[in-house]
């Protein structure tokens, strides 16, 4: 309905040029003007409702996934070790929510209506339709080039942003140790270098997307003027009316406007796809691990371990290797490593583990 109501503008101009100006009828102008106001009012209501629906859709997706994503986020250090430091499932979920609640989906919803608008321009005159179709083909080629050439820079920029945010979190969590050990100057130098890399990748990705956005906008302006020029020539040949010329120009501009909006939202769209892919893969791994859990009874009188290896997922070398032990009720054992500790009470015995 929103895209149908967008026809109000060009049809109003068509009636003004071909009916009102030709007849000089003020009542006709008042009638079609009032109708246009009513139609634009409906358009405004529906546009507002669509925005509110998209916002609530993004919030609903966040509400449905937040618990699983939070659980997956907390288990990353155990599952992936240092490889999980650059991952942030919560930030990925935020990216998905922000894209769904923004203008990106609306632009992509409007794209399929382009053939309808161009079809109406063809009905005005085949030559006008061919000019509009040629411009649309050129813009679609530019969009494909934008996707092909911007995908890698945007992905690299997103990775650098995630690593940058992770460094900030690590520094805040260990601020006391950093101050006590005098590590702030070295960490500041490292941060400056990493931030320079991030800004460089951000500059490349933004320049690439901005370049194609500017080219597409320029092509759209040229196409709109070309429609006016061809329409003026056809009007001189008395094949169309001046109202058709103006309406065709507005219709073509409206047909290509969603393309320009989609290109403006392309960086967010690429980030949305990458975040969605990471969340899908991560939640699939988490669900698979949950399904593979084996419930074992707690030891009551004896605990036997033989050739035990363990360590976080993603690490090439296990932290604990080849551990074999026998414990009877009442015995105690300490495994001492460089840092960290955890304790767990089992029925009939105490185990104290120092986890490196």
How far is 301 from 269, CA to CA, in rounded Å?
58
Residue 232 belongs to some domain of the structure: yes
Identify the pLDDT of residue 354: 36
How far is 311 from 42, CA to CA, in rounded Å?
62
Pair 153, 270: CB distance under 8 Å: no
How far is 322 from 307, CA to CA, in rounded Å?
4
Identify the pLDDT of residue 346: 39
How far is 195 from 172, CA to CA, in rounded Å?
17
Identify the pLDDT of residue 347: 39
| Residue 285 sits in the same domain as residue 333 | no
How far is 323 from 304, CA to CA, in rounded Å?
10
Q: Of 246, 181, 232, whose CA–CA distance to 16 is shortest? A: 246
The residue out of 291, 314, 333 marking a domain boundary is 291
Identify the pLDDT of residue 224: 81
Residue 165 belongs to some domain of the structure: yes
Identify the pLDDT of residue 86: 61
Q: Indicate the pairing of strand 349-353 with strand 334-335.
A: parallel
| Residue 141 sits in the same domain as residue 184 | yes
What's the first-to-final CA gap in the chain, in angstroms? Answer: 62
- Dihedral class, residue 350 (left if φ above 0, else alpha if ψ from -120 to 50, else beta): beta
| Residue 118 sits in the same domain as residue 140 | yes
| Residue 262 sits in the same domain as residue 177 | yes
Q: Of 188, 191, 46, whose CA–CA distance to 106 is shortest? A: 46
| Residue 339 sits in the same domain as residue 236 | no
Residue 184 belongs to some domain of the structure: yes
| Residue 188 sits in the same domain as residue 286 | yes
| Residue 15 sits in the same domain as residue 160 | yes
The residue out of 291, 319, 342 marking a domain boundary is 291
Domain extent for 316? 302-353
Residue 250 belongs to some domain of the structure: yes
Identify the pLDDT of residue 39: 92
| Residue 134 sits in the same domain as residue 277 | yes
Q: Give me the number of domains the chain comprises.
A: 2
Identify the pLDDT of residue 291: 57
Identify the pLDDT of residue 337: 57
Tell me how far the alpha carbon of residue 188 is from its chain's centroid: 31
| Residue 282 sits in the same domain as residue 310 | no
- Is this model's pTM higher than 0.85 or not? no
Say which CATH number the domain at 125 has. Answer: 1.20.1560.10
How far is 331 from 340, CA to CA, in rounded Å?
22
Pair 155, 274: CB distance under 8 Å: yes
- What is residue 17's DSSP assignment? I
| Residue 316 sits in the same domain as residue 255 | no
The residue out of 243, 267, 291 marking a domain boundary is 291
Residue 140 belongs to some domain of the structure: yes
| Residue 251 sits in the same domain as residue 349 | no
What residues form DSSP beta bridges with 304? 326
How far is 29 from 6, CA to CA, in rounded Å?
19
Residue 134 belongs to some domain of the structure: yes
| Residue 309 sits in the same domain as residue 195 | no
Residue 245 belongs to some domain of the structure: yes
Give the tokens for residue 216. Answer: 């597409």
Residue 296 belongs to some domain of the structure: no
Q: Could you list the pLDDT tens digit for every one of the 356 residues in the chain?
A: 888 888 888 888 888 887 887 788 888 888 888 999 999 999 999 989 988 898 898 888 888 888 888 887 777 766 666 666 567 788 888 888 888 888 778 887 888 888 888 888 888 888 888 888 888 888 888 877 877 777 777 777 777 777 777 777 777 777 788 788 888 888 888 888 878 888 888 788 778 777 877 887 788 788 888 888 888 888 888 888 888 888 888 888 888 777 777 777 777 787 788 888 888 887 777 666 655 566 666 767 777 888 887 766 556 677 777 888 887 777 777 766 555 444 444 333 344 443 33
């Amino acid at each position: 309905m929103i895209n149908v109501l967008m026809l109000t503008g060009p049809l109003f101009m068509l009636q003004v040029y071909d009916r009102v100006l030709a007849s000089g009828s003020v009542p006709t102008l008042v009638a079609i003007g009032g109708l246009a106001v009513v139609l634009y009012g409906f358009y405004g209501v529906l546009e507002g409702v669509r925005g509110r629906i998209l916002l609530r859709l993004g919030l609903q997706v966040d509400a449905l996934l937040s618990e699983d994503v939070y659980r997956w986020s907390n288990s990353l250090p155990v599952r992936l070790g240092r490889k999980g430091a650059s991952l942030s499932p919560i930030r990925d979920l935020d990216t998905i929510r922000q894209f769904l609640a923004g203008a990106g989906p609306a632009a992509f919803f409007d794209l399929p209506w382009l053939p309808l608008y161009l079809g109406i321009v063809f009905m005005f005159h085949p030559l006008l339709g061919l000019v509009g179709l040629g411009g649309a083909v050129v813009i679609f080629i530019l969009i494909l080039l934008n996707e092909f050439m911007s995908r890698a820079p945007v992905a690299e920029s997103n990775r650098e942003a995630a690593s940058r945010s992770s460094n900030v979190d690590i520094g805040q969590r260990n601020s006391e140790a950093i101050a006590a050990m005098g590590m702030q100057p070295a960490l500041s130098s490292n941060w400056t270098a990493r931030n320079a890399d991030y800004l460089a990748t951000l500059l490349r990705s933004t320049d690439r997307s901005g370049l194609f956005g500017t080219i597409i906008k320029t092509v759209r302006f040229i196409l709109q003027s070309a429609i006016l020029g061809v329409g003026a020539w056809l009007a001189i040949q008395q094949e169309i009316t001046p109202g058709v010329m103006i309406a065709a120009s507005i219709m073509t501009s409206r047909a290509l406007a969603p393309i320009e909006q989609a290109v403006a939202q392309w960086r967010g769209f690429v980030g949305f796809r990458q975040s969605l892919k990471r969340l899908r893969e991560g939640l699939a791994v988490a669900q698979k691990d949950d399904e593979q859990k084996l419930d074992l009874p707690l030891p009551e009188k004896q605990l036997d371990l033989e050739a035990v290896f363990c360590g976080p997922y993603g690490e090439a070398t296990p932290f604990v290797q080849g551990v074999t032990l026998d414990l009877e009720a009442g015995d105690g054992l300490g495994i001492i490593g460089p840092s960290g500790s955890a304790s767990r009470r089992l029925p009939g015995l105490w185990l104290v583990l120092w986890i490196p």
